[in-house]
């Protein structure tokens, strides 16, 4: 029988840290600029819960949809479903339960979040099939993660603004860029199986150039978002750290030096999102 730890590994629960800091940043910005009457602690718990449930749906469904592909790929053959730790039926039940919890919790936040929750799930689940027909699957992943800051803002205000959409675009371009780097590992396998990705379609050099362009776009969008924030050293340090970490990814991963992909994907991106959120949230609280 599958254990809780197996399901946590199935959905790569630790990777929630990629989009969660942006959702918390958007939540804080919305709260401090609109001053709603809701209970902040209850609403924050609901937003975090929605993030977790949506993440579980996205990754659980991805692992279920890719179970046969993962079984053929030596790099992914040890994942929970192909390794037999979790059954395909158990995985899809897990997805259904989390989807129901996500929709229910979103509806409790406010009507807009409730009505849009199935749309959000459709987007995050659609990503799992994109690599079967388009090399732009990385962009779809970016869009699915970019939903987080918009959803958090809507949870507080019941509407959206330019600022939360800027955060969504930052997340979209940033995540699309690092997913291209991650996909370098499977370029040969994807070509052989007729699967689509930027690295499967182009050379490693071109793929990394596209990733670099996406990350430079993230940095430019962050500079624009920063122009709407209280100006202080906290803001400058947070934005600078984020930019430097993204640039460092492209320093340690090159066409001929791909052994650092794991560090760039996991460690560097976690540091980028957490450091940015910590400094910008502190900036809002102290200087806002």
pTM over 0.85, yes/no: yes
In sequence order, the 6+-apart residues with CB closer than 8 A to the CB of 177 are 138, 210, 211, 212, 214, 215, 218, 246
What does the pLDDT look like over 3-12, one tens digit per residue?
Answer: 777 777 777 7
What does the pLDDT look like over 62-80, one tens digit per residue?
Answer: 999 999 999 999 998 888 8
The domain 4-287 having CATH identifier 1.10.1060.10: the answer here is no
- Positive or negative: CA dihedral 266, 171, 154, 230: positive
The reported pLDDT for the residue numbered 38 is: 78
In sequence order, the 6+-apart residues with CB closer than 8 A to the CB of 252 are 260, 263, 264, 268
The reported pLDDT for the residue numbered 14 is: 61
Mean pLDDT estimate for the chain: 92
The reported pLDDT for the residue numbered 199 is: 96
The reported pLDDT for the residue numbered 93 is: 93
The reported pLDDT for the residue numbered 15 is: 64
Q: Compute the distance between CA of residue 147 and CA of residue 165 in angstroms, rounded to an integer.
A: 9
- 128: closest CA among 87, 70, 200, 80? 70
Q: Compute the distance between CA of residue 79 and CA of residue 63 in angstroms, rounded to an integer.
A: 8
How many Cα atoms within 13 Å fall on the side-chain side of residue 14? 9
pLDDT by residue, tens only, the chain of 288 residues: 457 777 777 777 666 778 899 999 999 999 998 878 778 899 999 999 999 999 999 999 999 999 999 999 999 888 888 888 889 899 999 999 999 999 999 999 999 999 999 999 999 999 999 999 999 999 999 999 999 999 999 999 999 999 999 999 999 999 999 999 999 999 999 999 999 999 999 999 999 999 999 999 999 999 999 999 999 999 999 999 999 999 999 999 999 888 899 888 888 999 999 999 999 999 999 986
């Amino acid at each position: 029988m599958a254990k809780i730890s197996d399901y946590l590994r199935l959905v790569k629960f630790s990777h929630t840290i990629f989009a969660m800091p942006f959702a918390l940043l958007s939540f804080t910005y919305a709260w401090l600029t609109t001053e709603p009457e809701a209970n902040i602690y209850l609403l924050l718990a609901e937003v975090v819960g929605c993030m977790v449930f949506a993440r579980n749906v996205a990754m659980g469904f991805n692992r279920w949809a890719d179970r046969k592909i993962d079984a053929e790929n030596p790099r992914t053959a040890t994942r929970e479903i192909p390794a037999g730790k979790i059954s395909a039926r158990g995985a899809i039940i897990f997805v259904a339960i989390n989807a129901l919890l996500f929709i229910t919790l979103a509806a409790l936040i406010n009507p807009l979040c409730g009505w849009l929750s199935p749309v959000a799930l459709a987007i995050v689940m659609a990503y799992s099939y994109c690599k079967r027909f388009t090399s732009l699957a990385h962009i779809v992943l970016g869009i699915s993660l970019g939903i987080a800051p918009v959803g958090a803002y809507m949870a507080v205000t019941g509407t959206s603004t330019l600022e939360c959409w800027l955060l969504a675009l930052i997340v979209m371009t940033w995540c699309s860029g690092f997913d291209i780097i991650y996909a370098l590992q499977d370029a040969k396998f994807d070509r052989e199986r007729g699967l689509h990705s930027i690295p499967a379609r182009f050379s490693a050099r071109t793929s990394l150039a596209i990733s670099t362009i996406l990350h430079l776009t993230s940095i430019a969008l962050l500079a624009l978002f920063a122009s709407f924030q209280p100006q202080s050293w906290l803001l400058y340090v947070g934005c600078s750290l984020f930019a430097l970490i993204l640039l460092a990814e492209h320093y340690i991963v090159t066409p001929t030096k791909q052994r650092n992909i794991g560090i760039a994907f996991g460690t560097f991106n976690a540091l980028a999102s957490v450091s940015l959120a910590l400094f910008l949230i502190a900036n809002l609280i102290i200087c806002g």
